[in-house]
Amino acid sequence: MILSDFWSLSAALLICPLYMGVSVLCEVFCKEENVGVEGGHYTLTKKLEYGSMLIYHCPEEYYPYPALTRLCQKSGTWSPTPHIRIVQKCKMVECPNPLVLESGSVFPSQTQYFVNNKTTYECYSGYTLRGSSSRVCQPNGKWSGGTPICRQDSGGGERCADPGIPAGASRFGSSFGIDDKVMYHCDKGLHLLGSKERVCQENGQWTGTEPKCYYKHTYDTALEITEAFGSAIRESLQLAAPIGDTDQEGKRITVDKAGKLNIYIAMDISDSIVEDQFNKARNAVKKLITKVSSFAVSPNYEILFFASDVVEVVNIIHFSGENRKKLEQVLDDLDNFNYGERENVGTNLNLAFKTILERMAIQKQRNETLFKELHHVLIFFTDGAFNMGGRPEDTVAKIREMVYMNKKEERDQYLDIYVFGVGSDIFDEDIQPLVTKRDNENHYFKLKDGTELEETFDKIIDESKVVGLCGLHRNYDHDTADTIRVRYPWMARIGIPHEDGSFGKCMGSLVTPRFILTAAHCFKFTDTADKIKITIGKNQVLTGSRVILHPNYNIKAKENEGIKEFYDYDVALIELKKDVDISIDTRPICIPCTKETSGALRLVGEEITCKQQEELLLKNPIEEVSFMSHDKERDSNKDQRSDAKLKLQDQRENCIELATQIDGITSDNLKDVVTENFLCSGGRQPTRDHVSCKGDSGGALFKNYDDYRTIQRIWYVQLSSQPQTMCNQASPGPTHLASSPAGSSETSHPDSR
């Protein structure tokens, strides 16, 4: 054995006491005998060294039995020890016993139910079925649909309705009057999630949540988690916003200067969580933080990784005072953590909770008044398999005490503890006591391999349900009519019948549910607002009620100076007769100098100025932007995205020069025609730009602002159209694109006028 090999192996070597007090080094590797799995395979996290985890893998719809994982012990043996008689194999996923329906019958009656087995439910006469009349056993070990319950037609005269019996459970207690109690128990091999005990309340509702019986191999689907966790986190975000500050829909979404929401994220990095699972959890956390930021609430974050020790990646104390930590830094800190660098074997879940408790204590001591206003959301990612530091329950109790301040009822909403079960073998029973229990809310989620976590968090902010946010969109890389709509949900087509019988076509963008922003030159003085048709989203056709041209817009303002058409301030708003319905394919764009946009840019907690926004968005001499244009060669109703490069700073002068190719523009009057308000793009350097043409007028010139490309931030309005000649020329000339008058003064959102 060469020396370097020797040292690298030494971690797995132990001092073996021998007879007569003599000790020698001896190897204690685990062995691969008897650990094989029928119908599947296994992987090892650290070969056969001490601390290595053996993870069994089975095909879809199967699960490893009897063990899910084995851990290599110091003694060189596996825990759990492989059985000699019970062969380790992949078993077909089973669903819990559905034959628990009271006052009804279940077909077919079997001793076991496997994936894709279907059951149907019928009630005896005098009873009506609630819940699902037919259910299918799913690959995640759960029945589809909801628990079937046969409720007495007469209602039984009791205060609460029959709460039913979930598959795999038995219930004790069958009177449902006020203060009556029902208790649940799961069959052998299953454990109970949700409420073991429920009490009928005066309001006719049962306390707690419906109990569920889970096997070790049962897990929650991405959809279930998205719905439950998504609505809960949205609630927290809205609770954290100060009351009285409402957006146009009356929802409490706002910029919160002080940051009244604390989010503590703790991730298990012990050996039972393999690198791949860790990376998935980390990406999911990044996604969550990014998504949360689009709410324009600026939470304070504590992010820690824990194994036998705690690594504090982001300290919540750095969010107080003048130099609040920025979201980008938080994401960087997360990225900079290297999974390979940790040297941990144990799992000290308690220490993670203790660290959070300490951070809370510091904040409370610093300013108790402020602490009382803070909402605390704890999000843990763990398999619950702690093996050192003691049980975390006591620490969790202390955290509750600290937040509730002896007013549990009143202050219950100020604390939420969520646990996402990740890992190959999740200890549900140990996790249960730690999470928040609140009627009809779920705070514990169990994931299969953590694979779906990122996707889940991506969907947490369901775009169709969040109304007040500008610029949100979805990105799909294939083009169908549907994907285009969700990618550019603000895009509006405007049809304007003029009095002389001609018909004008323009584009515009939705800026609030009531207003469309477009170009002023689209309109003629004799146009009537209620003849204007606006098409947006999935065939929403709306009519205008009013057209508001920018007060400084005057195409003939410089006629005396020989400038035939002057396009400065070429902006107009169309007020719609009624609000559009906001949905995934119909949603406002972000426009500069608004509070919403500052939220989108995460300029939260700071004075909002147009200048700050501009500095963020137009910081380079050449900035890529896009606009929508009609595809003239093909279907005129199909829109396509065109890209252009804005020439800014020292590049602007040369770009503007190109405008002299246009009829009527000379180097003498150039600066008068193309004012400071115009942004310039076009030409062939560094690449040949697309030009916008007739019919594209009024559309948005937009820019993505988001590393994750999940949220689109849209900017700048194309104010002037290209003279028609340019479109017909083979060689693309300059395209004049103007911003809404730039400057550092604050302008208000169209709605607030």
Ligand X SMILES: *[C@@H]1O[C@H](CO)[C@@H](O)[C@H](O)[C@H]1NC(C)=O
Enzyme catalytic residues:
521, 570, 697
C-beta of residue 572 within 8 angstroms of C-beta of residue 587 = no
7 binds ligand X (CB under 6 A): no
The whole-angstrom separation of Cα 565 and Cα 519 is 14
Options 151-159, 263-271, 365-373, 622-630: segment touching ligand X (CB under 6 A): 365-373
Which of 9, 311, 357, 370 is close enough to bind ligand X by CB under 6 A?
370
Cα angle: 45, vertex 47, 51; to 5 degrees = 65
The whole-angstrom separation of Cα 147 and Cα 133 is 9
The whole-angstrom separation of Cα 53 and Cα 59 is 20
Backbone φ and ψ for 491, nearest 5 degrees, come out as -70, 125
Complex with ligand X: residue 108 or 157, whichever CB lies closer? 108
Q: Which residue has the tokens 């999470």?
A: 435
C-beta of residue 537 within 8 angstroms of C-beta of residue 586 = yes
User: Any idea how long the chain is?
Assistant: 753
Structure tokens that stand for 510 in this block: 């939705």
Which residues share a beta bridge with 94? 114
Give the shortest CB-372-to-ligand X separation in angstroms. Answer: 8
Complex with ligand X: residue 92 or 129, whichever CB lies closer? 92
Give the shortest CB-187-to-ligand X separation in angstroms. Answer: 19
Q: Which residue has the tokens 């040949």?
A: 688
The whole-angstrom separation of Cα 96 and Cα 214 is 8
Complex with ligand X: residue 7 or 114, whichever CB lies closer? 114
Give the shortest CB-92-to-ligand X separation in angstroms. Answer: 6
Q: Is the peptide bond before 98 cis (omega within 30 degrees of 0)?
A: no
Q: How many residues bind ligand X (CB under 6 A)?
A: 8
The whole-angstrom separation of Cα 538 and Cα 242 is 35
Of 217, 196, 202, which is closest to residue 60 (Cα–Cα)? Answer: 217
C-beta of residue 488 within 8 angstroms of C-beta of residue 477 = no
Give the shortest CB-370-to-ligand X separation in angstroms. Answer: 3
Residues in 61-100 that interact with ligand X by CB under 6 A: 92
Give the shortest CB-68-to-ligand X separation in angstroms. Answer: 21
Options 188-196, 363-371, 520-528, 651-659: segment touching ligand X (CB under 6 A): 363-371
Give the shortest CB-105-to-ligand X separation in angstroms. Answer: 16
Complex with ligand X: residue 369 or 526, whichever CB lies closer? 369
Options 362-370, 402-410, 498-506, 694-702: segment touching ligand X (CB under 6 A): 362-370
Give the shortest CB-59-to-ligand X separation in angstroms. Answer: 13
Residues in 250-279 that interact with ligand X by CB under 6 A: 258
Which of 114, 124, 172, 476 is close enough to bind ligand X by CB under 6 A?
114
Residues in 453-472 that interact with ligand X by CB under 6 A: none
Complex with ligand X: residue 143 or 490, whichever CB lies closer? 143
Give the shortest CB-593-to-ligand X separation in angstroms. Answer: 28
Which of 1, 19, 108, 728 is close enough to bind ligand X by CB under 6 A?
108
Half-sphere exposure of 69 (CA within 13 A, CB side): 24
Q: Which residue has the tokens 């169908």?
A: 480
H or E element that contains 236: helix 222-240
Which of 111, 125, 203, 369 is close enough to bind ligand X by CB under 6 A?
369
Contact mark string toward ligand X, 115..134, x via CB under 6 A: --x-----------------
Complex with ligand X: residue 239 or 370, whichever CB lies closer? 370
What would you report as the CA-atom Rg of the chain, rounded to the nearest whole angstrom?
A: 32
Complex with ligand X: residue 92 or 548, whichever CB lies closer? 92
The whole-angstrom separation of Cα 367 and Cα 358 is 15
Which of 23, 34, 105, 367 is close enough to bind ligand X by CB under 6 A?
367
Complex with ligand X: residue 240 or 289, whichever CB lies closer? 240
Complex with ligand X: residue 258 or 622, whichever CB lies closer? 258
CA 281 to chain centre: 13
Give the shortest CB-367-to-ligand X separation in angstroms. Answer: 4
Which DSSP category does 199 fall into?
E
**Cα separations in angstroms, 721 against 301, 548, 559, 729:** 46, 19, 18, 15
Q: Which residue is nearest to ligand X (CB)?
A: 370
Contact positions vs ligand X (CB under 6 A): 92, 108, 114, 117, 258, 367, 369-370
